[in-house]
Amino acid sequence: MPTVDDSVNVMMTHLKKVADSGKAFNIHPYFHELTMDVICRIAMGQRGTRQFENPHVDVCKRVFAHFGVDRLSTFAFLFPFDWFIWCLRRFAFVTANLRKAPFKELLDILRKEIKERKELRVEGKNVQEGDRIDFIDLFLDAEASEISDHNGDYMQNKGSLKVAKKMTTDEIGAQCFVFLLAGFDTTANTLANTMFFLAKDPERQKILQSEIDEVCSDEDVTYEQLQSLKYGDAVMKEALRMIPIAAL
């Protein structure tokens, strides 16, 4: 919660600069920076805020811009056979560098970060005093270089089968990939759409502001206070009803 609060306060300083100009501006990029900042600080081990300095933002935007519109995706929809999809997937990964595919670029960045974290672990420098354990650390704790089910031993000694399925390095990269994409765009879009509706409806904006002033009177907002924002919850849900965020 303190990490999210700090990232929000940093975003507000950026917003204040552009708002003080008195001119209209696009608020959407600010929420993209906020959501990526929170994800990277909590899930990826980023130390401190990097709003408007985070390379992940541009890459993730390009991933979504190419999602479902490239020719390989078109073929996948035209011929939805398991063997054909497998062939396309292999072809997509092999030719990703030549096509400068943004998803491959993002995966490479994540693999590099995971490799660096593993090297720090070997040196005993992965966690400094006061640091939180992030998701990469949790995934690395479950890492395995290979997986074996010992079928031969099981056939000879039934009932003694023990299979430990742990995460490989590629699986860790894939999980981080999902964290970045799943929370980055959907959360930013929800916040941006909500702000758009509030900007068009000053009366309800005042009602929401009054509830926030009443419930969150302290300088530090708590999780319990956020749960008490009933009107705020209704506003967010109405924005999601108006524009379902998962639908392109």
For residue 238, what pLDDT is reported? 96
For residue 191, what pLDDT is reported? 95
How many Å separate Cα 117 from the centre of its chain?
19
Domain that residue 101 falls in: 2-200
Single out the residue of 201, 36, 42, 27 nearest to residue 131, CA to CA: 42
Between 145 and 15, the more confident residue is 15
User: Do 124 and 208 share a domain, yes or no?
Assistant: no
User: Do 57 and 162 share a domain, yes or no?
Assistant: yes
Whether pLDDT at 73 is above 90: no
Q: Kindly report, residue by residue over 156-197, the tens digit of the pLDDT.
A: 555 555 555 667 777 888 888 888 888 888 899 999 999 999
User: Do 168 and 52 share a domain, yes or no?
Assistant: yes
User: Do 31 and 143 share a domain, yes or no?
Assistant: yes
What's the predicted TM-score (pTM) here?
A: 0.75
Between 248 and 79, the more confident residue is 79
CATH code assigned at 64: 1.10.630.10
Number of domains in the chain: 2
User: Do 160 and 184 share a domain, yes or no?
Assistant: yes
Residues linked to residue 143 through DSSP beta bridges, in sequence order: 167
